Structure 1
């Protein structure tokens, strides 16, 4: 059995999507999203989508790139996933080694990688010089069982809209996204300051459902939002929920997320997923109120290139 690692091609989209769904079924993606991530990548990101092939079958994938939004030069990521049926055959090792080589050429100094919190995966990372850092949970909610809590009352002075209402001018959503993303816990600091890049990567993402993305508006400006991603197969993913600092403590995160989830259920979606930093207790409490259960945990690992 020979493992071949190469660049992703559009013809790989279906097979690569199936690998991701098998390896980490808590994410929501589509073949169209795979293709767009490559064809619309900002050159400054040095983004690559690598695939591992065995006997003509795509069995693994790796998303590789520089942390473009970070204000610290040289930070990068390589997230490697192999189909469960083909683990232990060298595909993951070759994907990671190829990713590191490409990132080193792009000027990376530190490589961050999400690793499922399972013994075999953590051993794989540690043997290759990666050190464990912070954790994050995947959570799942059944939308088909009718157990969503009732919709909270909309506070006085708050108006609910959807992302579709901002189609003519999404810049106010970019401004709010930038303000709330800066406060997100994480190993890599994130600063959104490139509107054109945001239009491509966030606003133009094929999985973004603008009708299910709910925005709370106060005094004419977006104050809170929850971004909804869907895959056309009954699955919903919370891409991001954020509240502007000036409006926290009013229950707006719960409000926008509740309306989005109720709309998703009414539209026939059957299950919802979200991700939470393990230390983000306020958001974990909100998701517990909705009925989300933790279904898996990932641990962010880092390796300094040139070490190990």
Structure 2
């Protein structure tokens, strides 16, 4: 058993990383291309270090490790460790966690946050290594084939629906909406988007981003609510972000954008959709329930203070 750095240019590494994540966390989309993109385009100040645990030449565990570089509070580290469900109990998780914490400590992190599936073995592992549970979030799934979507709401006067593809020449309005809505995103770590060029490289050019299925509600030509769609090149779809500018909340525009995105996804041959919810985000929980999503798993954010 060895733990080493992921090699972004080696397909066996990126494919192995994506395979482990898909088996351990099937509610989020991962592909070899998305793993490579993240490794190459995270901002340098994030000190991003993807790790893999390898046994007899097979990738059986992974860790995403980086600083919360865009947080308003310095010294916060983020790490997520996952091991193939059929390869647990062999020490890979502990080796990955130790290497990740050592890296974050060397980069000045004093506190580490980690998402942990809300299952007895996973939580026991986290607690055994000094992590305490914090807030929680749900993964939700919707079958786009077996049941009908709710009727599309009427588009309010003065509102126009556009896709991200319509902003291909100038995506800055979408960046500005993303930056505003992120400020209100529930979580233990506060984030602030300020670097447009970094956003372009990391998010706008992300290989999972589906610009044709990402829908924005626009007023006077500017997006004021949106639902960002990721697809894996096959039949799976995931919501990356849904939000509304403060000045236009309470009008149902996020719900409007999200259901239109789902209708477009179904027409494009998508068969299952995933999304996520902080358990305290009641407005979004209500929207997803109305859309027909059902909870399929829960994860708990854990935190540890580093010595």
TM over 0.5: same fold?
yes
Relative to the length of structure 1, the TM-score reads 0.98
In structure 2, the residue matched to 1:6 is 4
| 2:260 aligned residue | 259
Q: Which whole-Å CA distance do the structure 2 matches of 1:55 and 1:187 have between them?
A: 38
Q: Give 2:277's aligned residue.
A: 276
* TM-score of the aligned structures, taking structure 2 as reference length: 0.98
* Cα distance between partner residues in 2 of 1:5 and 1:146: 44
- Which residue is equivalent to 2:38? 37
**Partner of 2:214 in structure 1?**
213
1:7-62 CA distance string (max 9 Å, x none) = 00133111111110000100012110101111222110100110000010000100
Aligned position for 2:54:
53
> What CA distance in whole angstroms lies between the structure 2 residues aligned with 1:56 and 1:220?
53
Q: Which residue of 2 aligns with 1:110?
A: 111
C-alpha RMSD over aligned residues:
0.7
Instruction: Say whether residues 1:222 and 2:228 are aligned partners.
Output: no
Instruction: Look up the match of 2:242.
Output: 241
Q: Which residue of 1 aligns with 2:144?
A: 143
The 3-state SS of whatever aligns with 1:159 is strand
Q: Deviations over 1:82-107 (max 9, x none)?
A: 00011111000000100000011111
Matches within 5 A, 1:55-204: 55-204=56-205
Distance 1:169 1:29 in 2: 27
Q: Distance in 2 between matches of 1:128 and 1:155?
A: 52
Task: Tell me by how many angstroms 1:184 deviates.
Answer: 0.7
* Cα distance in 1, alignment partners of residues 252 and 195 from structure 2: 29
Alpha-carbon distance in 2 for matches of 1:182, 1:188: 10
Aligned length: 304
Task: Give the deviation of 1:81 after TM superposition.
Answer: 0.5
5+ residue gaps, structure 2: none
Q: State the distance in 2 between where 1:285 and 1:231 align.
A: 26
| Aligned equivalents of 1:75, 1:46: Cα separation in 2 | 12
* Per-residue deviation, 1:196: 1.2
CA distance in 2, matches of 1:105, 1:204: 30
Q: CA deviation at 1:146?
A: 4.0
1:162 shift after superposition: 0.4
How many angstroms apart in 1 are the aligned matches of 2:252 and 2:42? Answer: 36
SS at match of 1:155: coil
2:19 alignment partner in structure 1: 18
Q: 2:174 and 2:44 mapped to 1: Cα distance? A: 24
CA distance in 1, matches of 2:190, 2:69: 10
Q: Give me the whole-angstrom Cα distance separating, in 2, the residues matched to 1:163 and 1:233.
A: 20
CA distance in 2: counterparts of 1:111 and 1:20, whole angstroms: 20
Q: Distance in 2 between matches of 1:63 and 1:118?
A: 20
